[in-house]
Amino acid sequence: MLTGRRYLLAFTPEQETLAELIGDACRAVWNTALEQRRAYRQRGAFTGYVEQARQLAEAKKDFPWLAEAPSHTLQQTLRDLEKACKTHGTFKVRWRSKRKSPPSFRFPDPRHLAVERVSHRWGRVRLPKLGWVRFRWTRPLGGRVRNATVRKDGRRWYIAFCVEDGLVELAPNGKAPVGVDRGVKVAVVTSGGWMCDREFFTPGETIRLKRLQQQLARQRKESTRRAATRAKLARLNARIRNRRADFLAWTANRLTRDHGLIVVEDLKVKNMTASAKGTMERPGSRVRQKAGLNRAILAKGWGGLLTALEHKARYNGSRVVRVPAAYTSQRCSACGQVDAKSRESQAVFACTSCTYAGNADVNAAKNILAAGLAVTGRGDLAIGRSAKRQPPETRAA
């Protein structure tokens, strides 16, 4: 199976300058090619990867700085753009700004890469144009390298190898199914009542973040101090991101290890209405206390959790099913009645038609599990569903 391995790079100053240059070139290629695609579309024409790659080769003669970057990384940028345009539509794909998108480029051909371990703590990789680059050997590579992506995160540079680890997908582990909901008070809640959460900001970091943002708002544009503040913010955000990634991987591994089927709400449905402040149906809690910080982080983390679950499921013999999330927080998991009044408070669910009462998030997770079981045909259909399935004449009688 394909998996990712990320290491911290130790560029020499010259290598770092060159890496920035390559990043700039890839960004320029992305933006120019996107602009061209849009212009074509506006007059009813089309241009694609093959044509753009040909033009790129031509452009190198006129722009020597383009030739500084390895041609494969530039072509890969065009391929990524083609994929993005096909998935999201040419006019929805974003520009890459120097400020908002850190340098990132991929070496798609493993024949141009060589990786070796040089000592207990260090490894090195040979990259086109950059030469041998050292990186911190923090974990074994565990397989054959397929490609490599170099990316700047905060102030640091990383290399991520895509590795074929030679493992085969595990057979179904036959363990109990579970429903998972994005909780209000905690990040992840299961139908079995397991709750999992982590603070992504320490109190000190919350204060520091606020102060840095205020500083940024005061500082003059293009000033050196502003750039310094921005760098500090980027470092802080990178730390939070790492913490979140760690939490998601840990949670996903735990869930897929202990369960054979994991039912989650489909991202698209919630995503349209969800914000840091929550929704009408389910307003976010602690919005004032934390200014929605952790909640906003979680809103982002949910997509990451789905990805992590699907990845880990293949290693743990588990399966992930997505279901639409309509009414999961208003429906009673015991009798199936939907009533907004049943939601007594943020945390408590008390059914208005039967005696069921309990944690509101656990109730929602139970509904999600029931919906998943109905979809996969592994459980009884919900009461509401089976009524609809009756032939019309019986219903009329």
Site of interaction with Zn ion (CB under 5 A): 332, 334-335, 351, 354, 356
Residue 165 is among the residues annotated as catalytic for this protein: no
> Minimum distance from CB of 355 to Zn ion (Å)?
7
Which of 265, 266, 281, 339 is flagged as catalytic?
265
Q: Measured from the CB atom, is 10 or 350 closer to Zn ion?
A: 350
> What is the C-alpha separation between 366 and 360, in angstroms, rounded?
10
Q: Write out the chain in H/E/C secondary structure.
A: CEEEEEEEEECCHHHHHHHHHHHHHHHHHHHHHHHHHHHHHHCCCCCCHHHHHHHHHHHHHHCHHHHCCCHHHHHHHHHHHHHHHHHHCCCCCCCCCCCCCCCEEEECCHHHCEEEECCCCEEEEEECCCEEEEEECCCCCCCEEEEEEEEEECCEEEEEEEEECCCCCCCCCCCCEEEEEECCCCCEEECCCCEECCCCCCHHHHHHHHHHHHHHHHCCCCCHHHHHHHHHHHHHHHHHHHHHHHHHHHHHHHHHHHCCEEEEECHHHHHCCCCCCECCCCECCCHHHHCCHHHHHHHHHHHHHHHHHHHHHHHHCCEEEEECCCCCCCECCCCCCECHHHECCCCEEECCCCCCEEEHHHHHHHHHHHHHHHHHCCCCCCHHHHHHHCCHHHHHC
Q: At its nearest, how many Å lie between Zn ion and the CB of residue 337?
A: 5
Query: Cβ closer to Zn ion: 223 or 353?
Result: 353
Active site residue 181: yes
Minimum Å distance from CB 342 to Zn ion?
7
| 223 burial via Cβ count (<10 Å: 0-12, 13-18, 19+) | exposed
Q: Which is nearer to Zn ion, 2 or 354 (CB)?
A: 354
* Least Å from the CB of residue 3 to Zn ion: 44
CB 334 to Zn ion: min, Å? 5
Choosing from 164, 165, 181, 197, the catalytic residue is 181
Distance in Å, CB of 378 to Zn ion, minimum: 23
Q: Minimal distance in Å, beta carbon 27 to Zn ion?
A: 55
Mode of pairing for the β-strands spanning 177-182 and 114-117: unpaired
183/336 with CB nearer Zn ion: 336
Catalytic pick from 20, 24, 164, 361? 361
The answer to whether 246 is a known catalytic residue is no
Complex with Zn ion: residue 39 or 335, whichever CB lies closer: 335
Residues marked active site are found at 181, 265, 361
